Structure 1
């Protein structure tokens, strides 16, 4: 066999996650063992466990990497109104879910779905967008507290609508987006001026 390329630990970790993402895209979480991933990546089982102690942690790392990439793109444009910026960022999230359906279902409908390491990336990047909304609207004091609570509920709503859309295909992607934005208007919009241009661009 040809000798393997010498990779940095970070490069090797990425290579393993690439192999895992491919397998998770083809088979269910419960149907894949760490040995399968090691064989697919052409590495030893011991090396797999060196980088990822459990299959749950391995999937969580893949999921987080994907969301980190998404978050770097799903930003709120300071030249637009807060609402317009959120709509663009939310559309990017829905497109991401549509492009990673198998991963989305594993993260929400498998044995690992309740693992905080798996739930975290979704909540973290949406929370980051919510914090940008609060900051862009210059929300302070109790108004910020109310809007923050509304945004937390909105995150949960987005997750359920996205799963309903992807799982059953009874509504379109655009209808899912409109539902989420209407909920934002009805909840967060009751406390913040979403049509305002972000405070930092004023």
Structure 2
């Protein structure tokens, strides 16, 4: 005798399995998810090796939805670079609760930990990203300005001559250059590199103040001698 019951959909499914439903996120949460995904992808592979198809598939969304947030692959990449730079600055400067003698080393530890974890993305930021991309260069300058502002504010000096600003800017460039060399060669361990950078900064400040004071004295002109 034949059963009058209809087979269930699961029983008639040609594949016998089903895709999990896509997770619905609000706009901010979805954008944050995509940026985190992009950061992970671009931290391990170069720009040309990451496709929009792969990003959409990994995020379980359509390409159309991805393009709703980022109209082009370049827009997506720039947003990822901007987010990476923001995270680098925030992690490095989140040291206000650390006692002064260890504050610099703690900040450098956080900086180098980020460099170590996000090597390719860090290199993309400080080598200009896609060629000499103007937006990436603007992100670099903003990042440097944030660090310079913090260093100037916390410099243990009464005056801040132009030589100090220039010297601190140079130290920031030194940190960037040595970090890029480090992720390529790893000839020092992280602690040794941190200590090198930390020990150099007070000497940079000292020499800047010496030359800044000499410049100020020279600008004032020779002292008058009594008749």
Task: State whether residues 125 and 140 of structure 2, in contact with CA within 8 Å, keep that contact through their aligned partners in structure 1.
Answer: no
1:153 corresponds to which residue?
A: 170
Higher RCO (CA-CA < 8 Å; seq separation 6+):
1
Task: State whether residues 130 and 151 of structure 1, in contact with CA within 8 Å, keep that contact through their aligned partners in structure 2.
Answer: yes
Q: Aligned pair 1:77/2:92, yes or no?
A: no
Task: State whether residues 89 and 143 of structure 2, in contact with CA within 8 Å, keep that contact through their aligned partners in structure 1.
Answer: yes
Structure with higher Rg: it is 2
Secondary structure at the aligned position of 1:180 is classed as helix
What do residues 51-91 of structure 1 show as CA deviations (whole Å, max 9, x unaligned)? 1233333223223323433433433437643x642222122
- Alignment RMSD (CA, Å): 3.0
Deviation (angstroms), 1:126? 4.4
What do residues 5-63 of structure 1 show as CA deviations (whole Å, max 9, x unaligned)? 33221111112122222322443221112222122222222222221233333223223
CA distance in 2: counterparts of 1:79 and 1:24, whole angstroms: 32
1:195 corresponds to which residue?
A: none
Q: Aligned pair 1:112/2:130, yes or no?
A: yes
Secondary structure at the aligned position of 1:112 is classed as coil
CA distance in 2: counterparts of 1:56 and 1:139, whole angstroms: 43
Segments of 5+ residues of structure 2 without an aligned counterpart are 1-18, 210-227
Taking structure 1 as reference, are residues 17 and 148 closer, same or farther at Cα in structure 2, changes over 3 Å only?
same
Q: Aligned pair 1:133/2:133, yes or no?
A: no
Deviation (angstroms), 1:104? 2.1
Secondary structure at the aligned position of 1:74 is classed as helix
Deviation (angstroms), 1:103? 1.9
2:204 corresponds to which residue?
A: 187
TM-score w.r.t. the length of structure 2 is 0.69
TM-score w.r.t. the length of structure 1 is 0.76
Segments of 5+ residues of structure 1 without an aligned counterpart are 193-202
Q: Please, which of 49, 68, 71 is the counterpart of residue 53 of structure 1? A: 71
CA distance in 1: counterparts of 2:194 and 2:74, whole angstroms: 30
How many residues in Structure 1 have an aligned counterpart in Structure 2? 191
CA distance in 1: counterparts of 2:43 and 2:116, whole angstroms: 12
CA distance in 1: counterparts of 2:158 and 2:27, whole angstroms: 43
1:166 corresponds to which residue?
A: 183
